[in-house]
Structures are given as C-alpha cells and as structure tokens.
C-alpha cells in the first residue's frame, strides 16, 4: 500500500508540474487567438495551442512509462496520419480509457476532441482552453423543447456545423462514445443488453457527428479497449501501478457517403439503416473483445 501511495503521489506531482509549466503558454496563445483578428493568425494560434496540448500529453506518457508497469498493447495504428481526419468510436469502461486513447493516438493522429455542451465555454480557464483547442461546442434541443418551439428544428445541427467549419482547414480527430456511459454489470443487466461485453449503443450521436463532419472525415477508427486483468481497473489502480496491461485494438473503416447523407431525425428509413449499421458494428466489437481474451 505504501508503495502504491508513493507511486501515485510521484505521478500526480509530475503531472501537476507538467500542467503548471505548459498552461501559461497555452493561455497566452489562446488569448492572442481571441483578441487578434485575421484568419491566418488564428490558424497559426490553433496550431500553437495544439502543439502545447500534444507536448503536455507526450510528457505525461513519458511520466507513465517512467513510473508505471503498465504495458500498452496497441494494435492497428501503423497507418494513422496527423494529416488525416478521423471519427473515433470506442467502448467505454473506465476513466483509464482516456489515458489509453492518449497513449494510442497522441502524435499519431490529430489531437483528439469531444463534442462539448455549449455551456462549458463559460467555465473559467477550461472554456478558453477548449475554445482555443477548437473543441466543437454543440447545442442540442430536447424533443420536448422542439415540440414547444418547432421553429428551432434543425438549428442545433446548423450551430454545430458552423462550429466545425474550422476543421476544413485543420485535420481533426473526434471521439464518440456510443454507449453514452461507462460499462458496469449493473447497467448491463438493467439495459438487458444483447451484447455480452457492451452496453447498447446510441446511433443518434454518431449520426449527428457524421451529419456535421461526414464529408471531412477520412476514416472511422473503431477502437476496442480491453483490460485483460479483471475487474476493470479505475484511475486509482492505474496511477498506483496496479494495471499490468491494456489492449487497444484499432479497426480502420471507410466512411461511406450513405452514412452521412441522410436525415436521422426526419427520415425513418435512414434512421433504421443507421441503427442497424451501428448494431452490426457493436456485434463485431463484442466478438472482437471475446477474441482478445476477455470473458465475463
């Protein structure tokens, strides 16, 4: 236990130092991007902020390698390029999934981003950092709201599409967790999921991302994260040196036009098509988890 506490303490201390050293340059570049006009200058600032973020993540990877015994068994990333744009779909089991994606994608693909709620832009410091990193802020209206305000129909998609226009000039990697939440046996049982190792996927979020970005995405990265040692570890187990190995398997799939040219909300036929496509994707992922040696 003492050794675990010392390992976690040393790791968190080094990560904090790394963050404090690099947060200043990131904020300065972010402020310059906010205040100085001109598209070329703003694009240069975007590249600068991205470089700081990638450097921060790369140093964290070295800290992990120095202090932790974890072996990252990464498969299928040989042909990734920082000049291409990707949409990532991944299973989600633990907070360890985030370091696993950093280990897998940082400096191999464009720095990855998530769709964020528009309200997060107002969070002090973080909101500015997310904006400077070109995280796409989205506004989703509920069905109840749209029923009361039908004139707003389609506006959320238009807002997010405008937010993503900057990706026409810079490559991007967007991450989408189709399950919407982390896997637990309780959630799995409550859903009566048809998959042995996965929760039910939600096709709507993927359809939304493809509707916004489909023409700009070069490939879909179907990522499967597996923890061979059960139970699934949490973040504490990782930073205290209790995770021996993590398997990250990447299947690169084409993004065919039929996946993003339909209207998920208003076209029932396209909605059924997307739901079946996602179900087939998830069935293949469930089988792949079994093949990678995990049993529940």
Q: What is 35-76 written as a DSSP string?
A: HS--HHHHHHHHHHHHHHHHHHHHHHHHHHHHH---EEEEES
* Helix ranges, 68-133 (H): 97-105, 126-132
- DSSP SS3 for 273: helix
The residue with greater pLDDT, 291 or 59, is 59
157 near 211, Cβ under 8 Å? yes
Q: Model's pTM, two decimal places?
A: 0.86
Question: Would you list the domain boundaries of the chain?
Answer: 70-291
Q: What's the pLDDT score for residue 232?
A: 87
- Architecture in CATH for domain 70-291: 3-Layer(aba) Sandwich (3.40)
Beta bridge partners of 249: 75, 224
Mean residue pLDDT of the chain comes to 87
For the stretch 159-170, what's the b/e string if a residue is b when 16 or more beta carbons lie within 10 angstroms of its beta carbon? bbeebbeebeee
Q: What's the pLDDT score for residue 222?
A: 96
Q: pLDDT at residue 145 above 70?
A: no
Q: pLDDT at residue 1 above 90?
A: no
């Amino acid at each position: 236990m003492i050794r675990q506490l010392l390992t976690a303490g040393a790791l968190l201390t080094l990560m904090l130092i790394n963050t404090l050293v690099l947060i200043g340059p990131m904020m300065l570049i972010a402020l310059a991007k906010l205040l100085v006009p001109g598209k070329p200058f703003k694009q240069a600032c975007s590249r600068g902020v991205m470089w700081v973020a990638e450097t921060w993540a790369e140093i964290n990877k070295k800290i992990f390698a120095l202090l932790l015994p974890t072996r990252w068994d990464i498969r299928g990333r040989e042909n990734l390029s920082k000049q291409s744009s990707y949409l990532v779909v991944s299973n989600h089991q633990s907070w360890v999934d985030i370091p696993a994606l950093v280990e897998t994608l940082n400096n191999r693909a464009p720095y990855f981003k998530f769709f964020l709620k528009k309200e997060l832009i107002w969070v002090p410091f973080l909101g500015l950092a997310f904006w400077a990193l070109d995280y796409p802020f989205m506004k989703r209206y509920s069905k109840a709201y749209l029923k009361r305000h039908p004139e707003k129909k389609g506006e959320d998609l238009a807002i997010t599409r405008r937010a993503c226009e900057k990706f026409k000039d810079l490559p991007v990697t967007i991450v989408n967790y189709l399950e919407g939440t982390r896997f637990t046996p309780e959630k799995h049982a409550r859903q009566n999921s048809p998959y042995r190792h996965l929760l039910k996927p939600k096709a709507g979020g993927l359809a939304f991302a493809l509707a916004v970005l489909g023409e700009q995405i070069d490939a879909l990265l179907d990522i499967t994260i597996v923890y061979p040692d059960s139970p699934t570890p949490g973040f504490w187990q990782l930073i205290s040196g209790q995770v021996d190995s993590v398997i990250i398997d990447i299947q690169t799939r084409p993004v065919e036009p039929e996946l993003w040219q339909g209207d998920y909300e208003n076209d029932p036929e396209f909605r059924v098509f997307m739901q079946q496509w996602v179900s087939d994707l998830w069935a293949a992922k469930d089988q792949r988890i079994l093949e990678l040696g995990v049993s529940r």
